[in-house]
Structure 1
Amino acid sequence: MNITLTDVNKSNYEDVCDLSVAENQYEYVAENMWSLVESKFNTSYQTRAICLDGKPVGFFMWVPETKQRISIWRFMVDQNYQNKGIGRNALLLAIDEIKRTDGLEEIEICYNPNNPVAKDFYATFGFVEVGMDQEGNDVLAIIKI
């Protein structure tokens, strides 16, 4: 299984937009198309296609909140590729890439407290819950670098 992260570009953005999670996950994940639009108007937002053997099967977007903190705003794997270890491998790659940012002190991620999988999944990577986000809707978890 060859998992890579590649920039979302002219040759793969349509494939990324066509990806979707299962219906019971819709409330937890924003549409990739919306994220790509956001990234075009906020040039510091980083987008990556999660590729399996060169084919987009998932999506990431992370955002520098400050010079010391980057937040993973979007992370999804298409419903047809879930439960195969792709997300786990992709998140390791993303964390490794993000950690190479000069001056970085922490990586954060937010997730819906009703998401039955998120807390345990992110904890295995070292994310520690520190409370709720500013809006009080999502759990905020961080990794200290």
Structure 2
Amino acid sequence: MKITLAQITKQNYEAICELEVTEEQESYVASNTWSLVEAAYNSGYFTRAIVADGKPVGFFMWVQESEVKVSIWRFMVDKEYQKKSIGRVALGLALQEIRQIEYLKEIEICYNPNNVVAQGFYSSFGFAEVGMDADGEDMLAIIRV
């Protein structure tokens, strides 16, 4: 299966909006539709479709918070395509793209502190937990570039 990241366009945005996670994951993931609206009205928000063999199967959104810091705000793979290593390949591609940003020093991601699967997954890419976020709701993990 060939996994790529693609721009979200007039041709694929509806497919992105229709992607779903499992019922258990719904409380962890914001709506792709809402994320696309956020990105349309805020500068520094970047969205990508995760594409498997030409079909949109997931979604990424990251935000350039400053010249030196990017935060991954959204990352999901449709429930029908989970457990096929798509997310692992896609995160690797996203990190590769993000690392191309000039002056970048830090990539961060947040996740529910009770989500041990997310903790293990992100740590395998080099994300190190640094404590709870400013709201005290999510674990903050970073990669120093």
Q: TM-score range by the shorter chain?
A: over 0.9
Within-5 A mapping of 1:1-145: 1-145=1-145
CA–CA distance in structure 2, aligned partners of residues 113 and 65 of structure 1:
22
For the residues of structure 2 that align with 1:40 and 1:61, how far apart are their CA atoms? 12
The percent of aligned pairs where both chains have the same amino acid is 61
CA separation in 2, counterparts of 1:37 and 1:91?
Answer: 22
The 2-side partners of 1:37 and 1:122 are apart by 26
Within 2, Cα distance between the matches of 1:132 and 1:8? Answer: 31
Separation of aligned partners in 1, 2:9 and 2:138: 30
1:46 alignment partner AA: F
Whether the aligned pair in 1 keeps the contact of 2:68 and 2:105 (CA below 8 Å) is: yes
The amino acid across from 1:143 in the alignment is: I
Q: Report SS of the residue matched to 2:44.
A: coil
- Whichever residue aligns with residue 120 of structure 1, its letter is G
Q: Distance in 1 between matches of 2:27 and 2:126?
A: 25
| d(CA) in 1 for partners of 2:42, 2:62 | 11
- Unaligned residue ranges in structure 1 (runs of 5+): none
Q: Deviations over 1:60-106 (max 9, x none)?
A: 00001111000000000000000000000000000000000000001
**SS of 2:11 mapped into structure 1:** coil
Q: Distance in 2 between matches of 1:69 and 1:60?
A: 17
Cα deviation 1:107-138 (Å, max 9, x = unaligned): 00000112231100000000000011111100
Distance of 1:43 and 1:16 partners within structure 2: 20
3-state SS of 1:80 partner: helix
Which ranges of 4 or more aligned residues in structure 1 deviate by more than 3 Å? Answer: none
User: What is the one-letter code of the residue matched to 1:142?
Assistant: I
Q: Distance in 2 between matches of 1:43 and 1:55?
A: 27
The alignment's TM-score, normalised by the length of structure 1, stands at 0.99
